[in-house]
Each structure stands twice: as C-alpha cells, then as structure tokens.
C-alpha cells in the first residue's frame, strides 16, 4: 500500500519529523525513510503505533540487532535485543530511578564495543504529561565548526572507550569483576568518518576516557574541551515526546542523553528500545 509521507527538518543541521506513516505502509515507504535517515540522521516518526514484531522488523531493515547487554534490567535479568526502558521497579511500581544516572550523560550507544552501534530505535509506550525529554547533539556539525588548528591537532588521533570508566565517572561506583571481564577497553578514531556519507564527526561521550599516546592531563583537558564544544546548545535538539512517537537515530554521528525533567516517582515513562549493530569505525 503506497501512502505519501512528509519529511520536515527539525533543525538547520539534523533531525526530521516524518508524518503520514502507518504500520501497514512502513514497508512501501522504506526507500524514502532510508534516504531520510541518511540525510537527517534522526527521524521522529509521529503517530506510528507499531507492535513489538513490527518494531523489530523496522529496526532489522537497518541491520542485525545488538544482543550483548552488560547493564541489567530493573529485575536483575539480562536485556533482550528488543526491550523496555522504564522507571518501574522489579514489581512494576513507579520508581524514581531504577537504572542509575548513566542515561543523563552524553553518549552514543555501545561505543565501548569494537563495533559500536549503527542506530537506536526508541518508541514511546507510556510518557509523562510533560518532560521525559531526550536530547541529541550533532557531532558532525560540531566537528566542522572547530577551528582549523584544532581539527589539525586531532587529525589521526585515537581514543580509548571504556564501560568501567563510565561506571566510575558517571555512576560513581567500581565495576564488578564480571563488568570488567565483559568490557575490555577499545580504541577508535577520535574523528570518525561516516561509512555512507564520508562526513567526519567527533566521536566523544561518556565512554571516551583517554587519547592514545597523550599524557593523561593533556588528554583529559582536550577531551573535556571537545565534549563541551560538541554539546554546545547550537548543536543540540531537545525532543519533547508525543504519544506514539518512534525515534530512530544514527549513533555514528550523534550524541544523546535523557533529561531528568519529570517527576519519576509519580509518572510512568515506558519506552521500547532496540539497538542495531554497527561496523568498526574508521
């Protein structure tokens, strides 16, 4: 079934709202959606109440789904490839913050893997009346806005990405032996090239802990400077969720974070999520 969709940019550099999709027309609209995803890198698919199978099939159009999860669900069990992110405790009661604070720091998903994720899909199942915002930052526009001398300084550098580093700095706790064993540090280019568009972007965020071969103090200062630059408000889009929104974004060139801007002890925020496997960054 063919159905016209409209794609409208959300910011001057990235993100687009897509209207006119229906669960039965996603398949026919996929070529247009795929092009829009390459161009805009964050798609806000409005009013698209996919069930779990339809959601899974949509994600798999981009590639195989990520199956390795170190972080546990609120009931202590391992996450499945398609899972819920929710502020509910193991008994299904509203809980202030069952996952800790990691989502509130700028990051890109699975950056601590040798093959960080290509994309993440997040679907609103239940949202608070206001708030529950998700923010995105454009690491390509941020890279292009750097002074030429800075671009020259960071050209060819590699950085180390570590899950235990995130636990220590964001969650303020030591990793367990299992977490250390499952997530050895990896290194990637600090400036990565998008495999489809050839566009360069900074590859920073909460897992990025050091620059290979650089003295620690200098490395820390440079990473802090780049991170502050990449998340300057001129590169940021703040998404105010509407019921039945489905977002898909390109983790290879965007940072994201949740914002703690609603009463988590009172309102449910339940999101369906999956992550698409990516390639080795170059």
Q: Annotated active-site positions, please?
A: 107, 109, 256, 273
66 binds Fe ion (CB under 5 A): no
Q: Which is nearer to Fe ion, 29 or 120 (CB)?
A: 120
Provide, rounded to whole angstroms, the least separation between the CB of residue 184 and Fe ion: 21
Contacts 24+ apart (CB under 8 A), 222-230: 222/153, 222/154, 223/159, 226/154, 226/190, 226/202, 227/106, 229/142, 229/145, 229/146, 229/202, 230/106, 230/137, 230/139, 230/142, 230/143, 230/202, 230/204, 230/255
The residue with tokens 């250390």 is 180
Q: How far is the CB of 102 from Fe ion (least distance, A)?
A: 8
Give the residue with the Cβ less far from Fe ion, 109 or 250: 109
Name the residue whose CB lies closest to Fe ion.
109
Q: Which stretch binds Fe ion (CB under 5 A): 45-53, 103-111, 136-144, 191-199?
A: 103-111
Number of chain residues interacting with Fe ion (CB under 5 A): 1
CB of 122 to Fe ion, least distance (A): 9
Of the pair 18, 258, the CB lying nearest Fe ion is at 258
Q: Pick between residue 229 and residue 273 the one whose CB is nearest to Fe ion.
A: 273
Pairing of strands 6-9, 16-19: antiparallel
Please tell me whether residue 250 binds Fe ion under the rule CB under 5 A: no
Q: Does 109 bind Fe ion (CB under 5 A)?
A: yes
How far, in Å, CA of 163 to CA of 175, rounded? 9
Rounded least distance, CB 129 to Fe ion, Å: 23
Q: Which is nearer to Fe ion, 219 or 251 (CB)?
A: 251
Q: Which stretch binds Fe ion (CB under 5 A): 107-115, 159-167, 200-208, 261-269?
A: 107-115
Closest-CA residue to 200 (of 257, 143, 271, 132)? 143
H or E, element range at 201: strand 200-202
CB of 24 to Fe ion, least distance (A): 30
Residue 52 CB partners (closer than 8 Å, separation 6+): 82, 272
Judge whether 257 and 125 are in contact, CB under 8 Å: no
Phi-psi region of 194 (alpha: psi -120 to 50; beta: other; left: phi over 0): beta
Which listed range, 82-90, 102-110, 207-215, 217-225, lies at the site for Fe ion (CB under 5 A)? 102-110
Residues engaged in binding Fe ion (CB under 5 A): 109
């Amino acid at each position: 079934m063919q159905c016209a969709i409209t794609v409208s940019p959300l910011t001057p550099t990235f993100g687009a709202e897509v209207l006119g999709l229906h669960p039965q027309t996603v398949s026919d609209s996929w070529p247009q959606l795929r092009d829009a995803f390459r161009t805009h890198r964050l798609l806000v698919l409005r009013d698209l109440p996919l069930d779990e199978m339809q959601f899974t099939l949509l994600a798999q159009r981009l590639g195989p789904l990520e199956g390795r999860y170190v972080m546990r669900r609120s009931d202590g069990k391992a996450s499945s490839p398609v899972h819920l992110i929710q502020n509910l405790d193991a008994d299904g009661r509203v809980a202030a913050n069952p996952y800790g604070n990691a989502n509130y720091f700028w990051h890109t998903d699975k950056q601590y893997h040798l093959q960080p994720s290509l994309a993440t899909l997040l679907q609103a199942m239940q949202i608070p009346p206001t708030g529950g915002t998700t923010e995105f930052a454009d690491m390509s526009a941020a890279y292009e806005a750097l002074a030429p001398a800075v671009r020259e300084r960071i050209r060819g550098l590699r950085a180390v990405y570590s899950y235990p580093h995130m636990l220590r700095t964001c969650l303020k706790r030591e990793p367990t032996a299992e977490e250390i064993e499952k997530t050895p540090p990896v290194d990637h280019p600090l400036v990565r090239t998008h495999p489809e568009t050839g566009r360069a972007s900074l590859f920073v965020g909460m897992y990025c802990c050091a620059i290979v071969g650089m003295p620690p103090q200098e490395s820390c200062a440079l990473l802090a400077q780049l991170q502050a630059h990449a998340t300057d408000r001129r590169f940021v889009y703040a998404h105010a969720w509407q019921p039945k929104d489905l977002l898909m974004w390109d983790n290879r060139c965007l940072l994201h974070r949740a914002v703690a801007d609603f009463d988590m002890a009172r309102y449910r925020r339940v999101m369906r999520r999956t992550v698409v496997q990516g390639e080795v960054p170059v």
